[in-house]
Amino acid sequence: MEAANVSTMDDISAPSAPEERIRVNPAFSFWFGGLAAGAIWLAGAAITGLWADGSDIVEWSYTGHMAALQAGLGAVLLALALLGRLAAPASNRVRGAAAWLIALGVLLSAWEVITAKLALLPLPFFAPPQALLEAYLDDWPRLLECAWRSSLLLGTGYLVGAGLGFVTGIAIGWSKAAAYWGHPVLRLLGPLPPTAWLPIAFFLFPSSWSASIFLIALATAIPVTILTWSGVSSVPSAYYDVARTLGANQRFLVLKVAVPAALPHVFVGLFMGMSSSFVVLVVAEMLGVKAGLGWYLSWAQGWAAYSNMYAALLIMALLCSGLVTLLFSVRNRLLSWQKGMVRW
């Protein structure tokens, strides 16, 4: 009997033969998405560098630089794909973006063929990718200064508008007197685009800087006010009843009950205000200031430098995307207590 038990325990503890046969070395796990993306970017580099440009009017001087950039990115992706888990700390950061890397490589190659190689689109309205690279490499000091000026102007106006909208929304959602006076004003000013206030703003404020800040703050404050008011008004009354039962005063009800419960609505207003403020930023800089991405767009259009205009638009898109990502990070940190109740 004991021998039978020992035999049974040995059978359980010993690994089976099939399990031993399927063991693989994790260092040789290939990343097939990176392999495809690297091959596509290397093929795009070959198209850019080896295929002669088809335009007889313009000679693109940065074609070699563009081909080298594509080849470098393709080589990095191939290395990450072939090294497998040996390069896991680096490849894990980009594995989820394999489909996007493939799509961007295909689109960039198609853009290169249509514009620079076959010259199917009229110049100078449709510039090839190396024209944007030329704008970045030759005009980077001006672009950097304009991006800094726009960030400073946008940040100041956005913070002022978000703060005023947050306080005003809480007041309207909590106080009946504030709601009595605030509702008609919001219904009157809310539907109006902030750019409609351009003539009045530039007349009332002493400088174009202060007028632009006012317009950006207005574009941000209206959606933040409306969504904050909606969030405070929609807090269940049971929350207040429980807090009052525990001895909460008026200040506690506002700061510890109404505001945390309204934060999801507040962040929706902040996201809406971000997009509105970018529209106003471009319009305000086109009319009033002497530096900024909006000013740069106007300047590039005036000189028919459309490649510079596209370069500035790409910077604006990246700047807006970065600010939205930052806002998402702040929201996730402040609303971490909601992760078990709502879908992120």
161 and 302 assigned to the same domain: yes
Is the same domain home to 100 and 175? no
Whether residue 263 is contained in a domain is answered as yes
Boundary of a domain, candidates 93, 121, 149: 121
Residues 226-252 have a mean pLDDT of 81
Containing structural domain, residue 98: 26-121
Percent pLDDT > 90 in the chain is 23
Q: Which helix (H) or strand (E) holds 336?
A: none
pLDDT of amino acid 106? 95
Name the least confident of 73-82, 100-109, 180-189.
180-189
Q: Could you tell me the pLDDT band of residue 44, with boundaries at 50, 70 and 90?
A: very high
In a domain? residue 254:
yes
DSSP character string of 119-141 = --S-TTTS--HHHHHHHHHHSHH
Assess whether 199 and 318 both reside in one domain: yes
Residue 189: its pLDDT value, please?
Answer: 80
According to the model, what pLDDT value does residue 67 have? 93
> Do 178 and 97 lie in a common domain?
no
Q: Is residue 20 part of a domain?
A: no
**Mean pLDDT of the residues in the chain:** 82
The yes-or-no verdict on residue 227 having pLDDT over 80 is yes
Closest CA to 282 of 298, 297, 292, 294: 294
Give the per-residue pLDDT at 181: 86
The 10s digit of each residue's pLDDT in 51-81 is: 888 766 677 888 899 999 999 999 998 888 8
Residue 6 lies in a domain: no
Burial 68-92 (b: 16+ CB within 10 A, else e): ebbbebbebbbebbebbeebbeebe
Task: Please tell me the distance from the alpha carbon of residue 239 to that of residue 233, in angstroms, as a whole number.
Answer: 12
Asked whether residue 108 is assigned to any structural domain, the reply reads yes
In a domain, 133, yes or no: no
Pair 167, 233 in one domain? yes
pLDDT in tens, 306-337: 889 999 999 988 988 888 889 888 888 888 76
Is residue 15 scored above 50 in pLDDT?
Answer: no
Q: Are residues 106 and 172 in the same domain?
A: no
Average confidence (pLDDT) over 19-33:
54
CA distances from 234 to 7, 50, 165, 231, 322 (A): 68, 63, 17, 5, 31
Is residue 13 assigned to a domain?
Answer: no
